[in-house]
Amino acid sequence: MAKRGGYPGGMMPGNMNNLMKQAQKMQKQMEETTKQLEEKEYEATAGGGVVKVTISGKKEVTAVHIEEEVVDKDDIEMLEDLIMAAVNEALRMQSEDEKNQMGKITGGIGGGFPF
């Protein structure tokens, strides 16, 4: 019986090197994209624009603008709801942008790579 040579997993050393180079390239692209995303701002409104919230790509609220007409001391709950809605929409926008940008790099591989 002839001995079968080869490498564990059937992968040749050259292929493994190429795979590692591709993984390193992808990691670098992901780091660059993360940095670009962190520098972006996302703005969302609620209540037809009476509440506007801006967040950074780092998911930090950087600005809140409230039109005077919506400030009613007898209805604080509505104002709180509008602020919460605008913040949540801005966060959703940021997450969707991040998912789309990273998906371009990973080709849709869920979660990217653990390195």
pLDDT at 19: 86
* CB of 52 closer than 8 Å to CB of 86: yes
pLDDT in tens, 51-66: 999 999 999 999 999 9
Confidence of residue 48 (pLDDT cuts 50, 70, 90): very high
CA distance 62 to 33: 21
* CB of 79 closer than 8 Å to CB of 72: yes
Q: Side by side, which strands form the sheet with 51-56? A: 41-46, 51-56, 61-66
Predicted TM-score (pTM) above 0.85: no
Choose among 115, 56, 39, 63: nearest CA to 91. 56
**In terms of C-beta density within 10 A (0-12 exposed, 13-18 middle, 19 or more buried), how is residue 90 classed?**
buried
pLDDT in tens, 79-94: 999 999 999 999 999 9
